Amino acid sequence: MATRHATDNHCNAVSQRDPFRNAPCRSVAVGLWGTAILFCATLSCSRSPAAVDATAPDTEIHLGVAEGGSNSPDVGISDVWRSFAYEGLTLRGGDGRPLPRLARSWTVSDDGLRWVFTLEPGVVWHDGSPFTADAAVEALTKALSPRRRSALHPGLQDITGIAADGPGRIALTLSAPSAFLVDDLDLRLQKAVTGGSALGTGPFIPTSVSPSRVVMQAHRQYHGGAPQTRTLVISQHPTARQAWADLLRGELDAVWNVSAERAEFMNDQSIETRSFPRRYVYVLAFNSRRPQLRNPVVRRALNSAVDRDALIKGALRGQGKAAWGPVWPEHWAYDSTGATFGFDPALAKATLSGAGFPGSPNARRLRFSCLVPQGFDAIERLALELQRSLHNVNVDLSFESVELSEMESRMAAGSYDAVMLDLLSGPSLSRIYSFWHSPAAAAGLNVFGYSDARVDGALDALRRSSSESVVRAATGQLQHAFADDPPGIFIAWSERSRAVSRRIDVPASSNLGPFQPVSQWRVHVAPRTAGASPR
């Protein structure tokens, strides 16, 4: 058996990781059964907390989650609290390399069909019971059972068996080699409890959960080190501005995952603010089956008509990075010299004219409509800016503002020309496989009618690869294939911001992302005044 530890080859550990992107809670274009919308219901539960160490610091940390403004999918309170309660065997690193979590290392057989994962020692569930190999097998088997999991985790589709492999190890057998396997084992594992909510292994234990407020107690036996605060309170706020006001008043200690364009007013010496790139890309995705959008030449011309920097400056308040395709630009195999689209309206006009859409008065013009989800401010602003850009090259783009439920059903039925999405596309390449591999050949989420032989070939090579050189070459090929045959107009990778009061001592050496890990925060000045509490 060839050894491939968590720090070998393309499994190398890196410094950037963000556990809040493990799984989205409500996400445009993260879908179920070939659809493009995923909803995770907010859990309502209440149960007695596990025993808390009486010597633990008697302090509370209050986090505010702002869901107003851009209404983006990845800032929901449910996603935040679950990330503190539940963990996966692995974690998706910021540069696309899988990182150890509940599994400390892994090995793979020479034929790539058997993987053995060595579990982190000393891990216990929230009720104090050990996270054994048998417990891991049971939890992983349960996590893999819903069919909806497989589409977003193609690396898990090849699993044929899960079994304990001696103390502290589990073995996974596959029907075919899967380079996406370790990435996709970031599923949050849970232990079912009769009459109560599921248990996890994370640093905090949920004791009271409602749609607007969650109270969590420290998991004193946490394998990563006991939290430095006894209680974590997470509250939802209707707008980022209100959450910011509560932070300034001392009613909150932090505001979590605020859209960067809404964080422009967050400027105060008593507050430290940091931004970080999101793993979602704004894209106008084409229905490639539509006659007027079937020709790759037309789709390339539409990309050339867009000034991405101007759209980012205008619609996203300058907070974002230009996107040229669905490949995460921070991925270790990303080709920074890869193909891009220059902003060239004259070229776009000439190309469209040559493709049969001259656009002159009384001549045939390219016309298509686009679905826009209601209530997503940033997407709506981008759509309007994009409409102006295409109008300048004699293209008529119209919009339909629809509820998410209608968008889901119409995308599943193929009843649309294009759709504006906030698409989960990083950091792992398995995300791209799910959305853009030909739908006839993969049980994925491709509801766009998109099919390109070179894209499929590169994605298949990535899925079955066994070396960094293959991954790097296939990633470059993938980027060029997407530029030649673009499935949409990829506009920008946006950003998020987090703000923390300076009354909190945040570890300076954290490698988990902005202001992480929360479990190691310390309150180093006088606690908040009596009576002050989050709304």
Domains parsed from the chain with CATH numbers: 278-494 (3.10.105.10)
Helix axes 377-391, 308-315, angle to 10 degrees: 140
Task: From first to last of the 535 residues of the chain, give the pLDDT tens digit.
Answer: 444 444 343 333 333 333 223 333 333 443 332 333 332 333 333 333 344 444 445 689 999 998 644 444 445 788 899 999 999 999 999 999 999 999 999 999 999 999 999 999 999 999 999 999 999 999 999 998 865 456 888 999 999 999 999 999 999 999 999 999 999 999 999 998 776 678 999 999 999 999 899 999 999 999 999 999 999 999 998 887 888 889 888 899 999 877 655 555 666 778 888 888 889 999 999 999 999 999 999 999 999 999 999 999 999 888 889 999 999 999 999 999 877 899 999 999 999 999 999 877 667 899 999 999 998 888 999 999 999 999 999 999 999 999 989 999 999 999 999 999 999 999 999 999 999 999 865 566 899 999 999 999 999 999 999 899 999 999 999 999 999 999 999 999 988 888 898 888 887 655 566 777 888 888 875 545 444 444 4
Contacts of 294 (CB under 8 A, 6+ apart): 288
Query: Phi/psi zone of residue 419: left (φ > 0), alpha (ψ -120 to 50 degrees), beta?
Result: beta
Tell me the C-alpha distance between 169 and 507, whole Å: 32
Whole-model pTM: value is 0.84
Residue type, 483: A
Sequence-distant contacts of 507-512: CB under 8 A, at least 24 apart: 511/15, 511/16, 511/17, 512/17, 512/18, 512/19
| Angle value at C-alpha 445, between 199 and 409, nearest 5 degrees | 95
Q: What are phi and psi of 359, to 5 degrees?
A: 75, 0
Taking the CA atoms of 219, 225, 229 and 234 in sequence, report the sign of the dihedral they define: negative
pLDDT at 25: 34
* Dist. CA 164–CA 174, nearest whole Å: 15
Say which residue the tokens 């851009």 belong to.
70
Nearest to 127 by CA among 44, 194, 55: 194
Q: Which residue, 271, 301, 265, 275, is CA-closest to 286?
A: 301
Res 440: pLDDT? 60
What dihedral do alpha carbons 42, 48, 49, 52 form, nearest 10°? Answer: 160
pLDDT of residue 267: 65
The whole-number pLDDT of residue 513 equals: 66
DSSP 526: P
Q: What are phi and psi of 107, to 5 degrees?
A: -130, 155
Q: In b/e form, how buried is each residue of 191-209, taking b as 16+ CB within 10 angstroms?
A: beeeeebbbbbbbbbbbeb
C-alpha distances (whole Å) from 482 to each of 2, 414, 491 are 34, 21, 14
C-alpha separations of 7 from 18, 105, 122, 467 in Å: 18, 8, 21, 14
Tokens of 142: 């349960």
